Amino acid sequence: MKHLVAIVGTNSKLSTNRQLLEYMKEHFKQQAEIELIEIKGIPIFKKSAGMQVPEETRKIAAKIEQSDGVIIGTPEYDHAVPAALLSLLAWLSYGQHPLVDKPVMITGASFGTLGSSRAQAQLRQVLDSPEIKARIMPSSEFLLDHSLEAFQDKEHLVNKELADQLDGLFKDFIEFIDISSQLGNAHTANKQQAKDFSWESSDKKER
């Protein structure tokens, strides 16, 4: 059975993105063990002279390293990824790089009709950056709109079409993890490139 970590991409106490990940944890428990990770209390990213990172982010990095894959549930604030989630990703690409070549599935829920579509597109760009280099499952956008009315209870989505879509995407993600495990020939080099990358040195070269 696969072990996955699911990052709740918000520090909000009441979040339908958290509710969606909790639904997935219960609904897919026969296919994978899903551990939810909260980002509440993670300090805003700030560079330090010794590249010191908060202990909380070290623990999250270790869990990601040990996992078979990662699910990220992102809300959309002002057509963008929440600052708290971006801050976590910055910490996870600063002296530690657990997401390099790690299979990632993105989900998103919103109160309105868009289902965090713009935030998901932005998140894909961030995860594909030179310092992160995650392996994002292609063509896998899951958008849960009108999320306040989306759940009948913790174990049921009201919209059967969306529930069936999520079932299919999750099955694809499990297969994507298996495929990704065969694509590790460049992993050591990718990891080293992520560690060596510096926007500052790139800027100097361009000048």
Residues 83 and 9: beta-carbon distance below 8 Å? no
What's residue 77's pLDDT?
87
Cβ atoms < 10 Å from Cβ of 177 = 20
Q: Which domain holds residue 161?
A: 2-206
What's residue 199's pLDDT?
64
Cβ atoms < 10 Å from Cβ of 98 = 22
Residues 82 and 89: beta-carbon distance below 8 Å? no
| Spans of the chain, pLDDT less than 50 | 202-207
State if pTM tops 0.75: yes
What's residue 203's pLDDT?
47
Instruction: Please write the tens of the pLDDT for every residue from 152-172.
Output: 877 789 999 999 999 999 999
Strand runs (DSSP E) across the chain, as ranges? 2-8, 32-37, 69-73, 103-109, 135-136, 142-144, 151-153, 156-157
What's residue 200's pLDDT?
64
What's residue 49's pLDDT?
80
CATH number at residue 161: 3.40.50.360
